[in-house]
Structure 1
């Protein structure tokens, strides 16, 4: 499970030297629209640093198009309304590429707004680069030509997660605990469907949906989970909603397993501390111990920001844009969107593909478990002395799920 990042970061050096494309030397601005304040602010701030850090790593001769990337940031306060204001401001500043990830409720509003803008303003089109909003509808019933997702959606993650869980016979009673918006609702929906198919013997003993980024004390919920007799919790919670949940579980003496998406994200490693070893799992398209050049980049990021890099989809975006712009010989979003469709390229986690049918990146997924860091898996998020160690890799063909998308392409 060790991958070399150098083919990605330095892809196209020979290509750039061999022939100058029309766009070589251009600056491509990307608007980062996500929370930089409030309970989820630490997550958005970390991801802004990630976009800025890798803008430098992928600029100029370090991408096959020879373009330079620049990040313009907007604090949307996790609000769809604030996000639409940020989108307008970004467009007014001439930004043609929008990146957002925290909150499918926000992503849904942006997808619709970008589509309307592009229809009304030919020649000024915008492309939406989704790096973390995982509602499957965005690449199914609500798929849109101008939207590209570089994270794995919930149907993909639950497919891999439940494939792993089906062989664990200690799992008998599951509690579904999620945030009350489209993402959390979809986690619960797909978990029930997949478990019914793969583990019909397992009982769903409880289900809760709680307000997004509003709960500060999860102790009552933990008491409810314990009373249900659950031995396992499935949660798509992220940010403070996960870190405060696991903190309450530790303090409340819940000793069951957690199957999560975002254990490695800001705040949760510290909340777990040395607790949860062997009991907390994460399914994701990357992990902290991928080794090779990724390990060097993560160490450099930590040294520069005193923070951990965990949003690998940022690298996927830059690598994909560089390849697509070289292929299109242009930075024009219309031409780049067309070049992104069906694009296959080398990424930090192997060869990936932007599926033409729905613009969902097809990529491997990894199950990791919280344990003490050691020589084999040394990276310690938030200096906890613990790590997320890989226990199972799911190749792209395993984690891939079908799409119902009926893509409407511009004439």
Structure 2
């Protein structure tokens, strides 16, 4: 397979020795090698899985949701599930653990990496925190992390630990418990506390700091965290582009600035609408409330071109490990924006087809080859999970950064 040098970091070569159950090499035989999953995380917010896994909706709605999720599984290998405290535990002591566990288990069984979003955030936080003192709020937040991270350990081992801290202490839309304690602790202080508690409960988890603010303020915050000894596993960058595509120049500029830390970059919340662009004068995206925001053929073509360019730029960058589209479907999308890859009726948009071609075509490895006289075969392909098929048998292996020869029994 010949690929651009720009994707060399996404690939590797490996030599495999094929033997039969008696240990004899399988020589000069034709075999198939098929990639079954990417190491890179191509994700989406897919809250619809909660309905599918729990079967807690009408039969018609369930069939609709199942068809939607099948389209998701055809392309994506990573999913974000909602842990907004005010929705997850609207009444103190009664979390939606069972529903979310069913959804996480359902996804894991289908080889989808699941991330929880978020453990700590001032927006959509539990309203009952307002009845507490700041000391009690902090203890409740610690208890929330301990309970949920432990409950989901093994199902969810990736978390947006704390969300949008740049604005957290100065958030003034409404009073909330998390802004109160962030004023006491400071930005770096509250991040340090939340990361330490999460790390304590699940030492092997991948922990993200996540923000929509891509200015120097976020850079300063990250720098302060690292100087304070906080172990951030990945930098989360939100890229909601309701007001227009960033374009190559801004995207590369953001990548360059946040690459200075040498940490993995996750584009955690990506939005590219297939409808009109939100007016530039809107400061808070949440303030744009309109009765209908249609997806149109003209703007769907624009979305497809933007998706193709943006994903290609990010996939080529060596520090980017994950891209998550925030809304898989226009059905129930944030702000009502037509930002999904499929329409409200579950039909795929051009962006879906473009992305499927990239992820499962251009960036996938499927080959038919022959073993040599020693039963050896060499493969060059994209990093990820594979299967070898020969004589009606199938064996799985991984292609990662190691180059050791692997023996496979067929």
* TM-score normalised by L of structure 2: 0.29
Larger Rg: 2
> Which structure would you say has the larger RCO, counting Cα contacts within 8 Å and 6 or more residues apart?
2
TM-score (norm: length of structure 1): 0.29
